[in-house]
Amino acid sequence: MTWLNKQKKVHLAFYTSLHLEALNHFELSESQLPFTLLPKAALRTALNERDERFPVTILKKDLPVGFFVLHIGEGICDYTSNPKAVLLRAFSINYSQQRKGYAKAALQQLPGFVKKTFPR
Question: What is the share, in percent, of the chain residues with pLDDT greater than 90?
Answer: 85
Q: CA-to-CA distance for 84 and 19, rounded, in angstroms?
A: 29
61-70: average pLDDT: 97
Residue 24: which residues within 8 A CB-CB, separation 6 or more?
39, 40
User: Residue 11 pairs with which residues in a beta bridge?
Assistant: 59
Residue 98 lies in domain = 3-117
pLDDT at 45: 93
Rounded mean pLDDT, 6-32:
92
**What would the pLDDT profile of 29-56 be if each residue is shown by its tens digit?**
999 999 999 999 999 999 998 889 999 9
> Residue 17 is part of a domain; what is its CATH number?
3.40.630.30
For the chain, strand residue ranges (E) read: 11-14, 53-60, 63-71, 87-93
User: What is the greatest pairwise CA distance in the chain?
Assistant: 42
Q: What is the reported pLDDT for 7?
A: 53
Please report which confidence band the pLDDT of residue 28 belongs to, taking 50, 70 and 90 as the band edges: very high
Whether residue 94 has pLDDT greater than 90? yes
Task: Please state, rounded to an integer, the average pLDDT across all residues of the chain.
Answer: 92
What pLDDT was estimated at residue 44?
95
Question: What pTM was estimated for this model as a whole?
Answer: 0.90
